Amino acid sequence: MARRDDLTRRLLAFIRKAAPYAYCDACLALRLGASLADTSAGLATLLAEGKEFERRRRACYGCGRTLALAALTDGPRP
């Protein structure tokens, strides 16, 4: 549980740093050295808090696939 909380913080830091670019769950998991399941759970936690994130359909900066990515809501609009 502590490890998952730590991952959530790392996800938040990574996504903020990567903005305005966004990464899909799989690319975030790869870059943070976490499992896809833990990454998805961490993103769900951040999205549930709901203040700065939303799922938006856009291209992943890592793999180029267009998916519903977790991105900062206040980032530049495409």
Which residues would be at the binding site for Zn ion (CB under 5 A)? 24, 27, 60, 62-63
Which residues are CB-contacts of 25 (< 8 A; sequence separation ≥ 6)?
Answer: 36, 39, 40, 43, 70
Instruction: Output 2 or 64, the one with its CB closest to Zn ion.
Output: 64
Q: To the nearest whole angstrom, how small is the minimum distance from the Cβ of residue 65 to Zn ion?
A: 6
Instruction: Output 5 or 65, the one with its CB closest to Zn ion.
Output: 65
Q: Which of 28, 52, 53, 31 minimizes the C-alpha distance to 40?
A: 28
**Termini Cα distance of the chain:** 36
Instruction: Output 4 or 65, the one with its CB closest to Zn ion.
Output: 65
Q: To the nearest whole angstrom, how small is the minimum distance from the Cβ of residue 61 to Zn ion?
A: 7
Q: To the nearest whole angstrom, how small is the minimum distance from the Cβ of residue 38 to Zn ion?
A: 16
